[in-house]
Structure 1
């Protein structure tokens, strides 16, 4: 009987175990090596990438609002500055029940409905760690009431804040504009994270046009937040760079005089230096107080302004479009002389009416009985409509358009303020495009006296008359005089920007038309002779009276009996002193009756004030009363 084989082989099992252990050890070592290599790769090779990613998850960069640049007039008078104020700020990451906290605050101080609405709009776009202002410009009473209750209001603080202030108030409001709290829509667009919920931004006028210079460079505050977005600590702070301070070409004294002289009238004044284009005054009335907008204007106050039929928010100097009336006649005089339609000796008879050949429609002169034999000088001095009816027809609308367009009519002025309008330089092409109608010879007739489709802005008219004053040399109108760097305290002047010069084949024509405009004031029969009283310098000007209704224009004696809405608009343009003009002015007054009656004295007063400051004695006697109000 044979012996059976053993069931176990210890030697073989031991060898098998050793082989398995070796394989497992090799695999284990390999896995460890792979892990080590990967860790080295993560820690060394890819460290910058993951470090940046991790910081992005826990580090937030917040802007620090810079102090806004100060605005000065050309002589250093402050036009816009920053003054201390206090605001109520909500830190949402420290508040469990935001609505409950707001109710507790309302029980201590009143909160405007519009402030609450803006607060909730900002809450929706701002991260939870970012403080959001609830109320700005707290009164001392509100500060005191809140201060004694802050220990019961976690997440609520009172912070010092710089707010914009306009010392001149309504004077220059349309020019300077205003700043206001940033709108949530602007905050969403927020290029380069320049702004936060506490930022004030330019909303209108110069403040808006030069926001990029005035706002400055925000500082940086790096904060660490947890996964809930709550602030843990401030990591780094870099202070902001204040905005540039800007010196404007505006003369605050002239600006105040223009505003005062316009009074309760709806109108505008623009005064500029014809040799630089620098705006010396730009006034529009009625006006408004820009300080009401700085902290967010009350809804009722804004509705009162916006619903006012006199439109105090409307910038008439840049956007008001009016018929130039007879103030267009000096430009038409240049055109007919330059195109050899007439000479200075040409004489026409004015019977008081004009009729186109082959028609029956009668065009009237402002003086019903006419002016008799009239040459160009008399036509300008007495503003003879019939003479310029003839000139318009003889020149033709196409030549009129070609000659007048380089003066800036019919195009937007290239000014460093937004909103300027182009007006209308009438032509067959313009009428066809905008009305679909054909051009008639009668359209040409009334274009010769600045009526019909003609529209100009006060700024355009000031630039145009400044071109006559500078004998064809033109400059783009501008507001900036110099820029001051807040860090280096250096002041950098802004040089005038020349525009295209108007060249005439006979340069002496500029002098001829300027001389005739002098006679408008100096000649006893001139339409603006009423402002010549006591004048100790030579002034050139032209009156205009733009018809706004079909009433009889000859009745000026009883104008006070005419409803104001039916009274003619008053226009006056001027420059002086002759022979070296330093200032050009355009004045428009809605329903001012006649240019000689209401607009011309304003221009005289502004030029007087300018020359007084320059050391030129402008007058000794008060204005003499107008013995008659003329139609142009």
Structure 2
């Protein structure tokens, strides 16, 4: 009896314990928390199977709920979904007979940017498999606002425009324009003899034309494209369309209105290469994109390249329905970048060089702005943009005049154009008295027998003694400057040249060679010191630097950092205190006399008061009697020194010397003034 009583007591205690630990029924708030956690983790399967109302699952199958959400997330780049809701009051009592509404806040990142919207989500109490719980009502508008079962969702790219490059006056250098897509209409192109004419004019083969005409999609009345030509080829287009059956369509393309004159500065765009695409992975480039390949198009790529926009839209199933934008990230066009270049002066200089191999630069002596930067001969940037053939590229690469070689980026022996700088160094340290004359006789000179076979030669032994600085510059007397450099001493002269920027990188946006005193920066002998004093030996200068070195003469002592972008800070000092105002005035007077009384008579014009210095640098191979000569002229208008021009022409040995170059500079300035 006692045992039965104890057993009954044990069973009762179990029942009591069980009753006391029974879980409280879940609230709609509890269930919504769990639902939201699954939503943010993209666990659509568990959401569908365990948290949706019976009415929802009856209306929407797994294709609608699971597959569609997963596909849209992938297609639209949806990630970082965050869902919150307004919590109920702490003492809220829920009635299982009534819906439990909540306002949910949904945000996400998409390919078109962040998207956020609010929705009312309703929880319903349902009995399912003898268990009661709260379940969520759902429809497709919880994926994207306004979305239903019949609407389709799309994503489109909003194309951006590449930025443009203009000169200081707004003239176009590299712009978005149009060209001519030349093609044939087969039913009208019936004269077979014209096929070779078209091939020759377009620089293609007749086999290529046949291949284009024999494509499977071609019909007699269709336009069959052959080649794209730039707007600068309008004359060629006119000749082509005179032939029956030849026509054109306008085609969007990059334009380079100044063509060859600015090609080495502007560069060009071209189709992105596989190597570039790999290197720029993650930067948004595709295999069909154009990218800057040379010049400023390449250097300024990040600023010129636009950023395409993206639009996510919804469209109803009915034909002709207008798409509804869900979210849009607008396209961002590239920048319009203004250069310090004066494109008209640039073209005047380029044209004056007449295709001769050489370089020229023009700088503003009061600001350091680069007004012209020329490499001659040049190439058509549009030809490279459209895709130059290997045969054409080899033709240009093997051209003895080297049109693809950027000469303004290189460095050359400056010859006698260095002499004013040598004088400036000597005057500033008190070693060169411009009024003191030296007695120099004969065509050659050497300090003493220790020089062996080395002698300094001069071109004008008829120069009257005593030779002071003025006469030395007028007659370009090598012996005078060699003796002045010897009086300074090697290290003093090196220090002076260093103050003018020799041996250091030139602060410039484009990659240009630095100027050097010698291969190792030293002067190892008195003979080398003599050669260096008049711009020979191992000395090399860049054409931009050479023009800049004359700035202290014009402005009274300062050399400015050369700039190429109009937005950059100008008149930023690179080297200061190079010349006193008095010494600068002396050199200005002397350089005017060089043109009036000396051997730059081609620049001695009645309309422009040129001042400047010519120079000839001889590049003689070992054992040769005569060398290749480069001619120079650095000049400015002494009445209106708005710019200093430095020009170098290769191979002037048969052209009468550097006066040949002076004529080109004079022609360029005259043309520019008359524009």
Contact 2:444 2:458 in 1 (8 A): no
Specify the alignment match of 1:260 in structure 2: 351
Aligned partner (choices 664, 667, 675) of residue 602 of structure 1: 664
Going from structure 1 to structure 2, the CA distance change for 1:109 and 1:63 (only over 3 Å counts) comes to: farther
Cα shift at 1:180: 1.0
Specify the alignment match of 1:628 in structure 2: none
Pair 1:585-2:645 in alignment: yes
Aligned partner (choices 415, 423, 431) of residue 515 of structure 2: 423
Pair 1:334-2:408 in alignment: no
Pair 1:59-2:101 in alignment: no
Cα shift at 1:460: 1.2
Cα shift at 1:572: 0.8
Pair 1:569-2:619 in alignment: no
- Give the distance between the partners of 2:179 and 2:281, measured in 1 at CA: 27
Contact 2:633 2:647 in 1 (8 A): yes
Going from structure 1 to structure 2, the CA distance change for 1:31 and 1:336 (only over 3 Å counts) comes to: same
Aligned partner (choices 475, 478, 488) of residue 382 of structure 1: 475
Specify the alignment match of 1:627 in structure 2: none
Give matches, 1:360-509, under 5 Å: 360-367=452-459, 369=461, 371=463, 372-417=465-510, 419-426=511-518, 430-431=521-522, 439-481=524-566, 494-504=568-578, 506-509=580-583
Going from structure 1 to structure 2, the CA distance change for 1:501 and 1:108 (only over 3 Å counts) comes to: closer
Specify the alignment match of 1:163 in structure 2: 253
Pair 1:353-2:444 in alignment: yes
- Give the distance between the partners of 1:190 and 1:39, measured in 2 at CA: 47
Give matches, 1:197-212, under 5 Å: 197-212=287-302
1:299-348 deviations in Å (ceiling 9; x for gaps): 2222222233322111111x221100000000000111111112122221
- Give the distance between the partners of 2:325 and 2:393, measured in 1 at CA: 40
Give matches, 1:534-573, under 5 Å: 534-549=605-620, 566-573=627-634
Give matches, 1:34-183, under 5 Å: 40-45=32-37, 47-50=39-42, 57-60=74-77, 61=111, 64-84=158-178, 162-183=252-273
- Give the distance between the partners of 1:331 and 1:69, measured in 2 at CA: 41
Secondary structure class of the residue paired with 1:430: coil
CA root-mean-square deviation = 4.1
- Give the distance between the partners of 2:592 and 2:332, measured in 1 at CA: 52
Give matches, 1:526-541, under 5 Å: 526-532=598-604, 534-541=605-612
Aligned partner (choices 368, 372, 378) of residue 281 of structure 1: 372
Secondary structure class of the residue paired with 1:450: coil
Specify the alignment match of 1:513 in structure 2: 587
- Give the distance between the partners of 1:507 and 1:457, measured in 2 at CA: 26
Going from structure 1 to structure 2, the CA distance change for 1:109 and 1:243 (only over 3 Å counts) comes to: farther
Specify the alignment match of 1:7 in structure 2: none
Cα shift at 1:248: 2.3
Cα shift at 1:373: 2.6
Contact 1:392 1:445 in 2 (8 A): yes
Give matches, 1:1-16, under 5 Å: none
- Give the distance between the partners of 1:201 and 1:78, measured in 2 at CA: 19
Specify the alignment match of 1:97 in structure 2: none
- Give the distance between the partners of 1:110 and 1:167, measured in 2 at CA: 35
1:352-405 deviations in Å (ceiling 9; x for gaps): 222133333342323274534311111011100110110111112221222222
Contact 1:354 1:389 in 2 (8 A): no
Going from structure 1 to structure 2, the CA distance change for 1:223 and 1:450 (only over 3 Å counts) comes to: farther
- Give the distance between the partners of 1:258 and 1:396, measured in 2 at CA: 39
Specify the alignment match of 2:332 in structure 1: 241
Equivalent pairs counted in the alignment come to 498
Cα shift at 1:587: 0.5
Cα shift at 1:110: 8.5
Secondary structure class of the residue paired with 2:659: helix
- Give the distance between the partners of 2:462 and 2:491, measured in 1 at CA: 28
Cα shift at 1:188: 2.9
1:87-119 deviations in Å (ceiling 9; x for gaps): 9xxxxxxxxxxxxxxxxxx965689xxxxxxxx
Q: Give the TM-score, by structure 1 length.
A: 0.69
Contact 1:284 1:315 in 2 (8 A): yes
Where in structure 2 are there 5+ consecutive unaligned residues?
1-6, 45-68, 78-110, 112-155, 182-209, 216-224, 231-236, 238-248, 315-323
1:106-158 deviations in Å (ceiling 9; x for gaps): 965689xxxxxxxxxxxxxxxxxxxxxx9995999xxxxxxxxxxxxxxxxxx
Secondary structure class of the residue paired with 1:481: coil
1:193-215 deviations in Å (ceiling 9; x for gaps): 33223321111111112222222
Contact 1:381 1:519 in 2 (8 A): yes
Going from structure 1 to structure 2, the CA distance change for 1:110 and 1:497 (only over 3 Å counts) comes to: farther
Cα shift at 1:216: 2.8
Moved more, 458-467 or 299-308: 299-308
- Give the distance between the partners of 2:543 and 2:492, measured in 1 at CA: 24
Moved more, 233-242 or 458-467: 233-242
Cα shift at 1:571: 0.7
Specify the alignment match of 1:486 in structure 2: none
* Bigger relative contact order, structure 1 or 2 (CA pairs below 8 A, ≥6 apart): 1
Secondary structure class of the residue paired with 1:568: strand
Where in structure 1 are there 5+ consecutive unaligned residues?
1-11, 88-105, 112-133, 141-158, 225-232, 432-437, 483-493, 556-561, 614-632
- Give the distance between the partners of 2:623 and 2:473, measured in 1 at CA: 22
Going from structure 1 to structure 2, the CA distance change for 1:138 and 1:48 (only over 3 Å counts) comes to: farther
Secondary structure class of the residue paired with 1:414: coil
Cα shift at 1:276: 1.8
The structure that has the greater radius of gyration is 2
Contact 1:163 1:294 in 2 (8 A): no
Going from structure 1 to structure 2, the CA distance change for 1:110 and 1:495 (only over 3 Å counts) comes to: farther
Going from structure 1 to structure 2, the CA distance change for 1:378 and 1:185 (only over 3 Å counts) comes to: same
Q: Give the TM-score, by structure 2 length.
A: 0.65
